[in-house]
Amino acid sequence: MSKSFRKHRLVAFLFLFTLLSDQFSKLLVIKNLVLGESINILPFFNIVRVQNKGVTFGLLSGTLQPIVFIILSLIVVAFLIDYARKNKNYRPFIGMIIGGALGNVIDRIVHGSVVDFLDFHLGSYHWPAFNIADSAIVMGVFVLFFISCSEGKNE
C-alpha cells in the first residue's frame, strides 16, 4: 500500500468520521429532546437541544440569513480542498474541518439552523452550546495553526 494511499485513507476516514458522528449525534438529540430541553450529565456538563442561527458557539446569531452561511461555508470548503492539494501534510486536519463544516451546512439546509447540544458550565456561567462539527473545526484549525507555527520556527 503506497504512502499516498494511506494518507488519503486517513483524510477520508477523518472526514467521514467527523461528518457521520456529527449527524448521528444531532439525530439522537432531535429524536430525544424538545427544543430547550436539558439533561444534566455531570455537575459541569449538560446535553441541551438548541438551534443556532449563527456560526460556531453562536457567533453572529441572527445577523445573517442561513443561505449566507451556507454559501460562505461552501466557499471555505472549496478553499480548503485547494489548500489540501498544495499542502499534503495538513490533509488529515483539513478533512476534519471539512467534515465539520459540511455537517453544519447539512443542518442549515435541513433545519434552517445548526443543532447544538454540548453545554459546559461553571455555576451559572454557560459556555455557548456547540456540537461535534464545531469541535472538529476548532481542533482542526488549532492543529493547523500549531503545525504552521512549528514549521515556521524550524525553517
Predicted pLDDT of residue 53:
77
| pLDDT score recorded for residue 154 | 56
User: Is residue 31 included in any domain, yes or no?
Assistant: yes
Q: Which residue numbers are catalytic?
A: 116, 134
**How much is the pLDDT for 71?**
86
Name the β-bridge partners of 116: 50
What total number of domains does the chain contain? Answer: 1
Q: Is 116 part of a structural domain of the chain?
A: yes
155 within a domain of the structure (yes/no) = no
54 located within any domain = yes
pTM: 0.82
pLDDT at 62: 57
Residues of the chain with pLDDT under 50: none
CB 48 within 8 A of CB 119: yes
